[in-house]
Structure 1
Amino acid sequence: MKILIVSDSHGLTEELLEIKARYAHEVQMMIHCGDSELQADEEALENFHVVQGNCDFIGTFPEDLIKELGGLRVFVTHGHRYGVKSTLLNLSLRAQEAAANIVCFGHSHFLGAEMIEGIMFINPGSIRLPRGRTEKTFVILELSENEMKLHVHDLTHGKLDDLTQVFSLPKRD
């Protein structure tokens, strides 16, 4: 199973349509972690699970989402209400409360992935205004029985093989 995760596109539509055209056929879920700055009925967001970001002034998206995929709980938020620019503690506590296995968030525009107490935290970076690197990134998370593979993609250059990471999945009850 695969999940496409994007965040902080800040008004881009053609780029989201291009990502969908390229990858929608191979993923089972598409997530936008907020700050799309688009209307909910925008074609570029069609089939994405979208949350409200701090720059989404229209207010038509939920603050948080919980989705199930292959027996895993995926918690999606933008992150601004959890202070993710300075700590993951608040988000980690909320993820534990939600019994999440995977947390997808944005807001900081910094690409990152970290396993904390058995929960996978993923920030796909930004396809509009990346910070900490020049690549305009998004992520495809590949899930198997025992592991997660995090494939980082650049909007222009495609998959960045040197950034692929593999994480062992904690045993499920």
Structure 2
Amino acid sequence: MDELYEQLVEQNIVFDGNVIRVENNKVRLPNGKEASREVVYHRGAVCVIAVVDDYMYFVKQFRVAPNETLLEVPAGKIEVDEAPKVTVVKELKEEIGGVCSDVSNVHQFYVSPGFSDELVYLYVAHDVKLEEQALEEDEFLEIEKVHVNDLPALLQSGRVRDAKTIIAIQHVLLNS
């Protein structure tokens, strides 16, 4: 057994919603003592890198939790019984009107493993063609495109504060 493993002793569901489940659990530490762990469980999400004619596509969207409008790569939560690859193709079309020949998963990362199991799948869309957006009824966002040569300056500007978007930009910079 992993010498750092914390064994679940007691599980207490605090909230069980449509997007997240919150638990306040008791665990046994490697030294035998017990501790409390607050955990947010999430089905996961996808995000996608879409580069068309040397422009990387982003969306500006108000986010309630940080109470600000963020510049992000197209993204969305994975629905129940939906494969990440299906979700990413759907989100690409919804958010920027992108249709592609294929997508490739390039990274998977935890957003905040100190308290959440949310895993984000980062994809690259291939041969993207732009059509009309297909936003959901409760989705309000604006498309913004940035030339790939301007991505380092965008990162330096501090305008991008979203981790998945920073990772996506870094991927483009390392692979272009």
Q: Under a length normalisation based on structure 1, what TM-score does the superposition of the two structures give?
A: 0.25
Q: Under a length normalisation based on structure 2, what TM-score does the superposition of the two structures give?
A: 0.25
